[in-house]
Chains A and B, each alone.
Chain A
């Protein structure tokens, strides 16, 4: 099963790259959006597979999705990522192509323009589809950045203990106590908001709660006897941490990750809406809402459709997260052994 999944994922990655042909990561690092898209959509599958691999063996992985909310969440999330991946094939117009300055402005939804057009006559449907790339990329990668930071801090704090652990956890507490919005505003003021900068800012301000979760998981796992056994066998610490501790400790975090992706997409939209996030010509859903806010009563579609897109994404990720959390929480499972 594990091998089959890995094969599927590996075969999907070239497909990803084919869809993104023409992307030039080395030339426009950080500014060229294709680079981040390539990373995010390519990352999505390995993350799903990594997650499937670290399952405890007592259950088939698809059992996790027996819960309807997890299943619907997965369907929505996969569908959205496919939309982002295949955006060039799905759009009806170029997202940047401007229409006639008089006749194509503020057209309501029609068969030609499914979601209407904006002030410059650009097709909103195509812009929302392309916007999914930016929003999902930012959501997934910044949570990934948070996960890496949180795993390092939480893993060390949990496994090493001692003064280093105290110092790291105090740092975490301090970061948590600092209002995130202030940090975000400060960072946006200091750096010009390119997608990469937004990803890093969201990632670096979002790792604290994950670090706590990881530390809790690690503390729980290192008290098990199989970790003692690994130590008694003379395995080096890094091997114990990677092979025996982290797979079990990260398990409960997967649900939190899905919830955070939704949350982060909301935060990015919020920043963009305030005008502090991404700037033209990059298209994100938050920016689209912002551009429609003054004509909300006359051209309602401009803010409504990107808003619905955000709603659907956050809903999908939250359903997935909730469903997974229920699946991982043994207290919510009703398994009965024959002998109590």
Chain B
């Protein structure tokens, strides 16, 4: 991604004090449980055309944060402002219409596509529901979407199980693009893919950002991947953002102890290699 940074003065997405508490279920027939705070007062800003990397380990609340922003999970508290719209105040009908502007790409390329729908109908469905374009030119739009994500246009008749993991992930991206969003939450979009396929998908996301001026919230556990795609990085730990800043700063000069620990743990290719084992069966080296 280019080094010239997009204008940060006017954030496209502004999240303040986002909180999600899984309330204890209580009732006459059910056992009491303790509340779980998954997201604990998260503040985020994403500028137009910017990628914000949200990195953290499993269970830190990064996925919940992403879904709260889209209101796939209802947040408990906090404000979400997108392009001047108070997202949390939207009623269900307005929210459905609003979904055209924010989309999500999922981690699991196997689970995120309905196995019973062809690629074509999966891409056609959002167009029909949002009445995008003329019914007659929707097949062309579907073909155009496939071209955008680098898939052959005759894939419209294929079912998900006939595609490889990387191809499915491309379909997932095309489906998100179908409604013409400005902002995409990419929730671990490459962590289920092989290394060589990972690179293809990362490049695709990058190209789409440049071509369409998209903003991403890029959620991942792999700092190497996050560093590669993000303009800025937010590090999350136990439901809180512990450090946020430009990528070079967070990676090059981490302030928070947790960020440092995370960076130190990332496996790197060491050309030195391990010393050869002492030949023989000596128990101690």
Instruction: Name A residues whose Cβ lies closer than 8 Å to a Cβ of B.
Output: 54, 56-58, 166, 170, 224-226, 228-236, 239, 243-244, 247-248
Number of B residues contacting the other chain (C-beta, 8 Å)? 34
A229 to B178, CA, bound (A): 12
* Contact among A225, A234, A239, A247 for B100, CB-based, below 8 A: A234
* Contact among B29, B97, B104 for A228, CB-based, below 8 A: B104
Inter-chain contact B172/A229, CB cutoff 8 Å: yes
* Contact among A54, A58, A224, A235 for B126, CB-based, below 8 A: A235
Inter-chain contact B97/A234, CB cutoff 8 Å: yes
Inter-chain contact B99/A229, CB cutoff 8 Å: no
A226 to B100, CA, bound (A): 17
Inter-chain contact B112/A233, CB cutoff 8 Å: no
| Chain A residues, Cβ within 8 Å of B129 | 233-236, 239
Residue pairs across A and B with Cβ atoms less than 8 A apart, 11 shown, are A57-B116, A166-B27, A225-B111, A226-B111, A229-B104, A230-B125, A233-B129, A234-B96, A234-B98, A234-B99, A234-B130
Other A-B pairs, 18, CB within 8 Å; known A228-B104, A234-B99: A56-B115, A166-B29, A225-B108, A225-B111, A226-B114, A228-B72, A229-B113, A232-B72, A232-B102, A233-B125, A234-B98, A234-B100, A234-B126, A234-B130, A235-B125, A236-B96, A236-B129, A248-B114
Q: Which of B88-116 contact A (CB under 8 A)?
A: 95-100, 102-104, 106-108, 111-116
B142 at the interface (CB under 8 A from A): no
Inter-chain contact B70/A232, CB cutoff 8 Å: yes
Contact A247/B116 with A232-B103, A234-B96, A234-B97 known, Cβ cut-off 8 Å: yes
> Closest A-chain residue to B113, C-beta based?
A226
> Closest B-chain residue to A56, C-beta based?
B115
> Closest A-chain residue to B102, C-beta based?
A232
Contact A233/B116 with A225-B108, A228-B104, A228-B106 known, Cβ cut-off 8 Å: no
A57 to B118, CA, bound (A): 9
Contact A58/B72 with A233-B129, A233-B179 known, Cβ cut-off 8 Å: no
> Closest B-chain residue to A224, C-beta based?
B111
A231 to B114, CA, bound (A): 13
| Chain A residues, Cβ within 8 Å of B29 | 166, 170
| Chain A residues, Cβ within 8 Å of B258 | none
Secondary structure dominating the interface of A: helix
B232 at the interface (CB under 8 A from A): no
| Chain A residues, Cβ within 8 Å of B102 | 232
| Chain A residues, Cβ within 8 Å of B130 | 234
Inter-chain contact B126/A225, CB cutoff 8 Å: no
> Closest A-chain residue to B107, C-beta based?
A225
B19 at the interface (CB under 8 A from A): no
> Closest B-chain residue to A247, C-beta based?
B116
> Closest A-chain residue to B93, C-beta based?
A236
A233 to B111, CA, bound (A): 16
Contact A229/B115 with A57-B159, A234-B96, A235-B129 known, Cβ cut-off 8 Å: no
| Chain A residues, Cβ within 8 Å of B114 | 226, 230, 244, 248
> Closest A-chain residue to B112, C-beta based?
A225
B123 to chain A, nearest CB (A): 10
**Closest 3 pairs (CB-CB, A-B):** A234-B99, A225-B112, A234-B96
| Chain B residues, Cβ within 8 Å of A57 | 115-116, 159, 161
Q: Which of B110-152 contact A (CB under 8 A)?
A: 111-116, 125-126, 129-130
Inter-chain contact A233/B126, CB cutoff 8 Å: yes
Inter-chain contact A58/B116, CB cutoff 8 Å: no
